Amino acid sequence: MMKKVMTALLAVGALVTLAACGGNSNDNNSSGSGSSNEKVTLKFQSLAFQKSTVAATKKIVDDWNAANPNIQVEYVQGSWDSVHDQLVTQFQGGTAPDIIHDESADITGFINQGYLADLSPYLSQQTKDAVSQGVWDTTSKDGKIYGAPTLLQSYVVFGNTALLKAAGVNATGDSLSWDDFAADAKKLTKPGKFGLGWGLKSPTATMLNLGLNFDAKYFEGSGQDAKATVGDAELEVPKRIHAMAYDDKSIDPTSLTLGGTDVLPGFYAGKYAMIVAGNYVAQQILSEAPKGFQWEVLPPLKGTSTKQAANPQTLSVPAEGKHIEQSAKFIDFFMKAENLAAVGQGDQLIPSTQAARDAIQKATGGKNGWQQTLASGTELTKAPFQSVDNYPKWKDQIATPAFQEFLANKTDLATLGKKLSDGWGQVNN
Amino acid sequence: MRTRPTTRVLQYVAVLAYLVFLGFPLLWLISSSLKSPQEFASITPSILPKHVEFSNYSDALTEQGLIRGLGNSLQISIYSTILVLIVALPVSYALARFRSRLRPLTNGWILVSQVFPVILIVIPLFMILRPLHLTNTIPGVVIVYMVWSLPFALWMLQGYVAAVPRELEEAASVDGASRLRTIVSIVMPLLRPGLIATAMFTFISAWNEFFFALVLLQDPQLKTLPLVLARFVGAEGQVQFGPLAAASVLATVPSLVFFAFLQRRLTSGLLSGAVKG
């Protein structure tokens, strides 16, 4: 009996080994030199997440394939959670997909390492003109375009309509000043309830993005030569949030320790009358809010301006790709207004082109917060920190703990400024 | 010696506490898989769902290719386990039985190989596998998992081999059995619990592994279960909790079946009375 088992085990082992040696790799299913006339198949790894966005993206691929029999695109589902590690390895091994879906914050490093192709010779003038320069700047270097910006997010204020009405808070207009925002939060604060819940467990991105409201720079220069600059403008947003939490007591201090979307249950339950979160949270509210829950998006927050940092989702092509021109043509097609509007609507994200934003406005009538969400997307621009090589290191090791201590009321504003500034010297050497 | 009633009660309480500790996460997972999005967003979460929803299961099965992922994971885990056992058995026997200067070196190497972080070796590994046309293939992943699990499997099996009394092998030798015959007819049956424990460890390692599979497999048709589960997580920490919980429940079933099948064979006491003290 045991002999039979051993023989069977050895046979299976030999078969697996033989199969391994004869394994047929699909490293590159494209063929040829990349001339425009031969038939090629391009791998497009999409990170679309919501059902409706996946469907919209697949429709774009189908439409393209129907119109371009010689350039077929194969949809491959990827995941946001692991895309960076996956791409790092695939670039090293030369097996990256022909069309890469990512975000500008992540591709900055890839651009600097020369992994991405310059798309500027291939993108149409129409596409180039449709996106604002501030957004192009987030995906470009030395005048070359390394990613086409598709969708963006901004930080917006969500309000519980019933509680706003009851307190007589009526935020209308093109923008909401930080002073009015703080006053509204105070007005909405009642015993056992807070005017605002703000999930700031990972505070750095929020502080630096909204910091642009007050022209906060945090850095001067770019790359390795960048210098930290932390003054009044940079400390304005943290100072105001701290004052709302500990002087006005209009922010629930425990909410400051939660993740961005962890405040939603409290928002639905009326514990917080308002929350601040990425505009994409609207999608989650639509799918999970209790029946009858009425909500709205307030106008964009304004300091000296309503500017926020743009970190668009991007479509790129590997520098070593065999079909750069064909891949760029597909990206150009993806950038058409109707296509961007379809994927943007699915993910409740802001398209990078005005034409696509207009299409969403028309399709939705501005409902479900779209009116204010689209308005918040008009002043998204590149922030100085997006040109700094060691920003991720500074963010994780210095800024996040420093902001967390400050928001927990353990340090004062001067100490926060000093930590942010001195910490840059520690990580950038 | 009779156990006191108080001691007996305490024993039962300890066992019950341990069962709750182990069972609660599974109960929570099953309960979550039956909840609606509204229940997930409730400020007062309940252990059991207020309204049972099976739509999470249909979403999990239809949206991300869960069944295909299950099949791929099962295939890879079983092949890896078989190969590890085929290689580890003779090697661990040699390490346990033959005295040589290389033995401490070999054991040292096995120990050192366990401390390398995955991220450190994944790119060189990728570069080695690519010219061999083993990236993006199931055999390639099987070989990687085999190499990854082998050191620990050797450690485990060495201990089991060392526990088999040498006198039994000597007796077989006196009866004229060759070394191979001794291993097959005497040692292997006695090693069964050890082989099963090693098989379980290897299977679970391969079943749960994420990073190598992520890097080595690009073809959607070849994605393993952990890669499929990762697709339920979106950008900015967005998670489809219901379908993810349902997919996780379905992913747990094969492991439970595998364990249920093998644990009955994890009997000890085979050696008791084998040699006179």
Same-domain check for residues B124 and B181? yes
Residue B67 and residue B14 share a domain:
no
B118 with B180, same domain: the answer is yes
Domain residues for the domain of B39 are 5-55
Residue pairs spanning A and B at CB distance below 8 A:
138
A93 touches chain B (CB under 8 A): yes
B43 → closest Cβ in A24, A97, A269 = A269
- Please report whether residue B272 resides in a domain: no
For chain B, what is the mean pLDDT? 87
* Contact by Cβ (8 Å): A75, A62: no
Same domain for B134 and B74: yes
Q: Are B44 and B152 contained in the same domain?
A: no
Give the one of A2, A12, A27 whose C-beta lies nearest to B82's C-beta: A12
pLDDT in tens, B22-43: 899 999 999 999 999 899 888 8
> Which strand ranges, in their side-by-side order, compose the sheet holding A99-103?
A71-77, A40-46, A99-103, A313-316, A148-149
Let me know if residue B276 belongs to a domain: no
Shared-domain flag, residues B15 and B36 = yes
pTM of the model: 0.81
Is there a domain that residue B270 lies in? no
**Confidence tier at A10 by pLDDT (50, 70, 90):** very low
Q: What's the pLDDT band for B76 if we cut at 50, 70, 90? A: very high
Segment A394-406 shows an average pLDDT of: 96
Considering Cα of B135, then B138, then B139, then B145, what sign does the dihedral take?
positive
Measured distance CA(A186)–CA(A248) in Å, rounded: 6
Q: Are residues B116 and B201 in the same domain?
A: yes
Give chain A's mean pLDDT: 89
Kind plus residue range of the DSSP H or E element containing B120? helix B118-129
pLDDT tens for A222-258 read: 888 899 999 999 999 999 999 999 999 999 999 999 9
The total number of structural domains that make up chain B: 2
Residue of A nearest to B123 (CA): A89
- Please give the average per-residue pLDDT across A6-18, as a whole number: 42
Residues 53-82 of A with CB under 8 A from B: 76-77, 79-82
B213 and B102, same domain (yes or no): yes
Domain identity same for B20 and B109: no
Q: Which of A240, A238, A247, A276 is nearest to A405 (CA)?
A: A238
**B139 vs A20, A268, A291: nearest CB:** A20
Q: What is the pLDDT of residues A148-190, one digit of tens each?
A: 999 999 999 999 999 999 999 988 889 999 999 999 999 999 9
In a domain, B81, yes or no: yes
Domain holding B186: CATH number?
1.10.3720.10
Instruction: List, for residues A20-78, the tens digit of each pLDDT value.
Output: 333 333 333 333 334 556 799 999 999 998 888 999 999 999 999 999 999 999 999 88
A261–B188 CB contact, under 8 Å: no
List Cβ neighbours of A187 (8 Å cut-off, separation of 6 or more).
Answer: A167, A168, A169, A195
Q: Is the pLDDT reported for residue B269 higher than 70? A: no
Taking the C-alpha atoms of residue A104 and residue A153, their distance in angstroms, rounded to an integer, is: 12
With respect to residue B20, please indicate whether it lies within any of the assigned structural domains: yes
Q: Give which of A301, A299, A297, A333 is closest to A315, Cα–Cα.
A: A333
Closest partner residue to A260 (CB to CB) among B126, B184, B236 is B236
CA dist., res. A324 & res. A227, Å (int): 36
- Distance, CA of A56 to chain centre: 19
Answer yes or no: is B271 within a domain. Answer: no
**Across the interface, do A77 and B219 touch by the CB < 8 Å criterion?**
no
pLDDT given for residue B101 in this prediction: 79
Q: What is the pLDDT of residue A333?
A: 98
Both B38 and B153 in one domain: the answer is: no
Under the banding of pLDDT at 50, 70 and 90, the label for residue B277 is very low
Residue A403: name the closest of A303, A302, A257, A262 by CA: A257
The pLDDT tens digits of the residues spanning A258-287 come to 988 899 999 999 999 999 999 999 989 998
Q: Which pLDDT belongs to residue B275?
A: 53
Question: Do B101 and B231 belong together in one domain?
Answer: yes
For A271, which residue in chain B has the nearest alpha carbon?
Answer: B43
Please check whether residue B37 lies inside any domain of the structure: yes
Q: Does any domain span residue B96?
A: yes
Instruction: Say which DSSP state B235 is in.
Output: G
pLDDT confidence tier of residue B1, bands split at 50, 70 and 90? low
Residues B135 and B15 in one domain: no
